Amino acid sequence: MLDKLQAVEEHFAEIEARLGDPSIVADVTKFTALTRELAALEPLVNKIREYKKILAQLDEDKFLLETSTDEDLKLLASDEISELKKSKAVLDEELPILLLPKDPDDDKNVIMEIRGGVGGDEAALFAGEMFRMYTRYAERQGWRVDVVDMNATSIGGIKEISFTVDGAGAVGKLKYESGTHRVQRVPVTESGGRIHTSAVTVAVMPEAAEVDVTINPADLRIDTYCASGAGGQYVNRTETAIRITHMPTGIVVQCQDEKSQLKNKEKALRVLRARVKDLAVREQNAAIAADRKSQVGTGDRSERIRTYNFPQGRVTDHRIGLTLYKLDAILNGELDEIINALITADRTKKLSATK
């Protein structure tokens, strides 16, 4: 591990040197990329330097313990060695995790889509509750949520909704939400008090920059139409809504949330790029399915990942066998305990695979 730590520290120093090069400073793209890489490596490098300092101090204290004739000094060295060993043990666990290759998408913004599945109106109602759950979670993280398109029901549910989540580390946390979420409860419309099971699917896609996905404008069919819903005469009489069809894949994206046709087009293109990239990634992953089985969840939208049981106030994540009796808090956006457990499980499996 020490060789890997040394390599990281040397790479960090190399980036610092390059950022002082006038030709790099003049190139905004390169300078920005190197600055981001430096910032991403800094926490790890600080841990490495702390680790090396501990090792050096341990060697010094051990030498004193073996050679000194001063009993008081030896006692101090012995006490310090005990404390340093505890600190070293903590870093021995942290550093291998920090050395794991980072997913380049983890710091990107997210495109999320929620769709009501099996269960009709009840599924649509729960889809609405899930959207509120993610909105509140995003607020706790300091992220911004922006609706792209929503198909609501007459009773307050959501058949489907597309929205963006903008904020540092959004993908790194929300990517574990992709899959089928099952809800078990007695519907308001059920007079017999029987528990029904409904399902909602969640798709989580990293936002794709133009450099990530090449979309030929000639492959796009762009239609405009009058937006529907609240908004009065402006919404009903002005063709501000946008529908974009990507002809090679058949992917269709629409947006009517903004009053500006240009803004709706920009939002729709963000979602389209993410969907095209997501399709390409899923097709690629189909060829390496065995590898994906070693990860926490495959990200497959058909995979049942979590159950929300209302009668018992219970939420169970099936991928890691975690059950929490905190249904109300979780639906209020308190997802940290679940997501942190998923991150830990994912890192543990990846660490095991490297040994």
**Residue 169 pLDDT greater than 70, yes or no:** yes
Question: Residue 280's domain is classified under what CATH number?
Answer: 3.30.160.20
325 in a domain, yes or no? yes
When pLDDT is cut at 50, 70 and 90, the band that residue 52 belongs to is: very high
291 in a domain, yes or no? no
- 3-state secondary structure at position 201: strand
103 in a domain, yes or no? no
**Position with higher pLDDT, 154 vs 331:** 331
Q: Which residues contact 263 (CB under 8 A, 6 or more apart)?
A: none
Question: Residue 203's domain is classified under what CATH number?
Answer: 3.30.70.1660
What mean pLDDT comes out for the span 316-326? 95
Measured between alpha carbons, how far is residue 132 from residues 113, 129, 138, 323 in Å? 13, 5, 10, 21
Tell me, yes or no, whether 258 and 305 share the same domain.
no
Tell me, yes or no, whether 51 and 172 share the same domain.
no
65 in a domain, yes or no? yes
Q: How many domains does the chain have?
A: 3
Share of residues in the chain with pLDDT > 90 (%): 41
Tell me, yes or no, whether 225 and 172 share the same domain.
no
Note the pLDDT tens digit of each residue in 230-240. 444 444 456 77
Return the pLDDT at 237.
Answer: 53
The DSSP annotation for 95-129 comes to HHHHTSPPPTTTTS-EEEEEEE-TTTHHHHHHHHH
Taking residue 47's Cβ as centre, other Cβ atoms within 10 Å add up to: 18
Tell me, yes or no, whether 304 and 170 share the same domain.
yes
What mean pLDDT comes out for the span 165-183? 92
Domain that holds residue 20: 2-98
Last residue of a domain, one of 244, 259, 285: 285
Phi/psi at 297 (nearest 5 deg)?
80, 145
104 in a domain, yes or no? no
Tell me, yes or no, whether 134 and 199 share the same domain.
yes
What mean pLDDT comes out for the span 244-265? 84
Rounded CA separation 4/310 (Å):
48
Rounded CA separation 231/228 (Å):
8
165 DSSP assignment: E
Tell me, yes or no, whether 83 and 119 share the same domain.
no
Note the pLDDT tens digit of each residue in 88-111. 999 988 888 778 777 777 888 898
Note the pLDDT tens digit of each residue in 29-49. 888 888 878 887 888 899 999
83 in a domain, yes or no? yes
Amino acid symbol at 206: P
Return the pLDDT at 287.
Answer: 54
Tell me, yes or no, whether 182 and 311 share the same domain.
yes
Tell me, yes or no, whether 207 and 252 share the same domain.
no
Return the pLDDT at 236.
Answer: 46
Q: Alpha carbon 128 to chain centroid distance?
A: 20
Nearest to 133 by CA among 163, 154, 153: 163
When pLDDT is cut at 50, 70 and 90, the band that residue 168 belongs to is: confident
Last residue of a domain, one of 237, 256, 285: 285
Rounded CA separation 33/302 (Å):
36
Rounded CA separation 91/83 (Å):
13
Return the pLDDT at 231.
Answer: 43
290 in a domain, yes or no? no
**Residue 258 pLDDT greater than 80, yes or no:** no
When pLDDT is cut at 50, 70 and 90, the band that residue 191 belongs to is: low
Tell me, yes or no, whether 156 and 203 share the same domain.
yes
Tell me, yes or no, whether 53 and 200 share the same domain.
no
Tell me, yes or no, whether 207 and 222 share the same domain.
no
Contact 267, 166 (CB under 8 A): no
Return the pLDDT at 296.
Answer: 46
151 in a domain, yes or no? yes
Rounded CA separation 227/13 (Å):
54
Rounded CA separation 312/325 (Å):
8
Tell me, yes or no, whether 129 and 41 share the same domain.
no
Last residue of a domain, one of 78, 98, 118: 98
State the chain's mean pLDDT as an integer. 84
Note the pLDDT tens digit of each residue in 268-318. 888 888 888 888 777 766 654 444 344 444 444 457 899 999 999 999 999
Note the pLDDT tens digit of each residue in 205-239. 888 765 567 788 888 888 887 766 544 444 445 67
The residue written with tokens 């699917």 in the block is 201
Rounded CA separation 24/61 (Å):
44
Return the pLDDT at 212.
Answer: 62
**Residue 131 pLDDT greater than 80, yes or no:** yes
**Position with higher pLDDT, 55 vs 194:** 55
Rounded CA separation 160/150 (Å):
6
